[in-house]
Amino acid sequence: MSTAPEVRPACPNFSSGPCAKRPGWTPSVYADAAVGRSHRSKLGKKKLKDAIEITRKVLGVPAEYKIGIVPASDTGAIEMAMWSMLGARPVDVCHWESFGKTWFADVKKQLKLKDVTEFTAPYGELPDLKATNPDHDIVFTFNGTTSGVRVPDLEWISPTRTGLTFNDATSAVFAMDVDWSKVDVTTYSWQKVMGGEGAHGVLVLSPRAVERIESFQPDRPLPKIFQLAKNGKFMADIFEGSTINTPSMVCVEDYLDALAWAESIGGLPALKERSEANLKIIADWVDRTPWAHFLAKDVAHRSNTSVCLTLDTPPEIVKKMTSFLEKEGVAYDIGAYRDAPPGLRIWCGATVEASDVEALLPWIEHALELHA
C-alpha cells in the first residue's frame, strides 16, 4: 500500500468560493469593524467608500467608471444589471459552463426577451466569441469557474460597439487583466479571488452603462434591490458609499483587509503572479502525470484561478479520493462542480500559497493509489 506523503498543505482550503483567506489572516482583522453602527453613519459610509476607492486603485478601474457594493454576491450584481438594462437592443449571450448558462436562461425565461442569440460550447471549450454582434448587448463570463475555461483576452470586443458588454468576472478580477475599455458592466463577488466573506457583490459601470440606465425604462417591474435609477436619474449615491440594503460591516472590514494585503504585496501584478505560479505548479504536474488532464482543451484558455482537471478513473473513485483528502485534512472542497464533468477543481487564486499547491499533488497521487 502506498505510503502517505510526509508534507501536508499548511492550509487545506482549496474551495472555489468562498476561497482561502489571505496568508496570515486571523479574526483580529475585525477589531476595527464598524459593528453595531449604522452603515449610513459617517464611519460606515467611510468604510464603504474606502472599499470602493481601494478597489479602483488595485484593479485600475478608470475614474469615470462607477463602483458599487450591492446585495446577493455576483449573482445579485449580474441580475441587477441584466434586469435594469437588457431589452433596449438584441442580446448575444455567451456561455460554456453552468453560471453563464444560468444567465442565458434568465434572459430567455425570466426577462422573456425575444431577440436573443446563444453562443455556447461544451465544458472545456469556448464558443466563437468573434461571431457576436457589436450592435447587440453581449453577456459573457470572463472566467468559467465551473469549467476552468477563461477568455484569453477581450480583443473580440469592438471598440466602436453600440451595444453594452456585460462581463461576469467574479473569478477573474484580481487575477487576470481586464481591459476596462472593452467592458461596460462588470460584476464580481469578493468571496472569490480575495477570500472575503460571502453575500456581497460589486458592480462596475462604464459611462455608457450609466447612460443606458437613464435612457432605458424596462417594461417590467423591478424589485427595490434591482433599481439603479429613480425618476429617470441614475442613483449615484449607491456608488459613493451608500447601499441599497444593509451590508455586513464585518464583511466589508474583511474585504478592506484583503485589499490592504493586496497593496502590501504589490497590487494586481503581484496577485496575478501568485495565481499564475500556482497554475504552473499544476500544469507541470499534469505534464508528467499521464492520468490527469486539464478540462480546458486550449492552453491559452486555462484558468489560473479555478483549475479544473479530469482523471482517467471512474467518477466513483474520484468521489472516494476527494472524501479521503477531506477526512485527512489535506484538501477541502476540490471535487468538480455538480454540473461539470467528474474530476477535480483546485482553487489557485492569489490567496493560496504555492507551497500548499505543491504539497497537495502527492496526496492526490496517494489517494488514487489507495482507491483505484
pLDDT digits (tens, 9 = 90+) for 107-126: 999 999 999 999 999 999 99
Query: Tell me: the pLDDT tens digits for 192-235?
Result: 999 999 999 999 999 999 999 999 999 999 999 999 999 999 99
Q: Which amino acid is at 348?
A: C
Cell numbers at residue 160, please? 466602436
Q: Quick one: pLDDT band at residue 2, thresholds 50, 70, 90?
A: confident
Give the chain's domains with CATH numbers.
33-262 (3.40.640.10), 267-371 (3.90.1150.10)
Residue 211 backbone dihedrals phi, psi, to 5 degrees:
-60, -40
350 close to 193: Cβ distance less than 8 angstroms: yes
- What is the C-alpha separation between 137 and 140, in angstroms, rounded? 10
- Average pLDDT along the chain: 97
Q: CB count, 10 Å around CB of 310? A: 20
Cell of 204: 462596475
Q: Hunting for cell 437613464 — which residue is that? A: 214
Cell numbers standing for residue 225:
434591490
Residues sharing a CB contact under 8 Å with residue 255, sequence separation 6 or more, in sequence order: 51, 190, 194, 196, 197, 200
The answer for residues whose C-beta is within 8 angstroms of residue 86's C-beta and 6 or more apart is: 107, 111, 113, 137, 139, 166
Whole-angstrom Cα distance, residue 126 to residue 306? 16
Confidence of residue 176 (pLDDT cuts 50, 70, 90): very high
d(CA 77, CA 72): 7
Rg of the chain (C-alpha set): 21
The pLDDT score that the predictor gives to residue 266 is 98
For residue 32, how many other CB atoms are within 10 A of its CB? 12
- Are 166 and 116 in contact, with CB atoms under 8 Å apart? no
Q: Is 227 exposed, middle or buried (0-12, 13-18, 19+ CB in 10 A)?
A: middle
Residue 265 has pLDDT above 60, yes or no: yes
User: Is the pLDDT reported for residue 15 higher than 80?
Assistant: yes
